[in-house]
Amino acid sequence: MVSDLKGLLSNIVPHFIKYPQGDYKMDHFLIFIKCLEMISSKEVCKKQRILKVVELAYDCNMDGKRRRIKKFSFEYLRIIAS
């Protein structure tokens, strides 16, 4: 069982890199990896990191069944946070 960022980066990510699940899923997985790296990074302001992670996650699954937020709502969130 993985319960932290370190576990994701050291166990889950290497597994799915070694055993890819297909091109479409791999594209989303690479975005997921980028989000994990941004979260673990201390280089960027926390607020900027969070907004970028949300933006990447939003753009990842454009046709998702559980997509609850529309693009204009996301832009409103960005304005409020800045």
Do residues 81 and 51 make contact, with C-beta atoms less than 8 angstroms apart?
yes
pLDDT at residue 13, rounded to an integer: 93
- Render pLDDT for 18-65 as a digit per residue (tens, 0 to 9): 998 877 788 888 988 988 888 888 766 677 777 788 788 777 766 666
Whole-prediction pTM value?
0.67
CA distance to 7, 20, 56, per residue, from 12 (Å): 7, 12, 19
Residue environment code for 40-72, b if the CB has 16+ CB neighbours within 10 A, otherwise e: eeeeeeeeebebebbeeebebeeeeeeeeeeee
| Better-predicted residue by pLDDT, 46 or 14 | 14
- For residue 81, is pLDDT > 70? no
